[in-house]
Amino acid sequence: MVIRFAKEDDASGIRAIYAQYIDSPITFETELPDEEEFRRRIRVFSEFYPYLVSEENGRITGYAYSHKAFTRSAYRFDVETSIYLDKEAQHTGTGMKLYSKLLGYLQKMNIVNAYALVTEPNRMSVYFHQKAGFREFAFFPDTGYKNGRWISVIWLAKTLNMKTNPPAEIRSIHEVLKEEGILL
């Protein structure tokens, strides 16, 4: 298995994985976005944050990415993270390797708080995040409506860097990679 940065050309493979979840309560989107929308998301999120894919034998088996959690400047130390795996790649260790790589980059970027929003019922994702060091801190009962039912959301958090005063300013993923001699 290879973990690498996503390219816009990966949109089709990423979309195929996401399609496995579109009719489930796991995502609040009710219609599968087209391939161009996935290209746009890869491009926009990758401008500052890591967007990773796992690949095996040339086939994308999962993806994980982050983006701003909130829009106001004081929140710049926070990100929201997401991960989706091809159903065949679940329970193979792929998810933890992919997420660990994502969290490692976020830590190097001086991100302090990583948040994950998990729909309920989706206990496997809650356990996955707990295994990755996240803790539950908020529950939003019946906050979304999809497929004829109300769905709750659990927020989980993980501290990636110490809370210092003042905090180290965040850096883009490109600054981190340049420092490591890696160019995308």
**pLDDT string in tens for the chain (184-residue length):** 999 999 999 999 999 999 999 999 999 999 999 999 999 999 999 999 999 999 999 999 999 999 999 999 999 999 999 999 999 999 999 999 999 999 999 999 999 999 999 999 888 999 999 999 999 999 999 999 999 999 999 999 999 999 999 999 999 999 999 998 887 6
The pair of structure tokens assigned to 115 is: 């948040």
In what order do the strands lie in the sheet containing 149-159? 2-5, 51-56, 59-68, 78-85, 113-120, 149-159, 135-146
Question: Do the Cβ atoms of 99 and 63 come closer than 8 Å?
Answer: no
- At the topology level, CATH places domain 2-179 in Aminopeptidase (3.40.630)
pLDDT score, position 181: 84
The structure's pTM equals 0.95
Question: Do the Cβ atoms of 155 and 119 come closer than 8 Å?
Answer: no
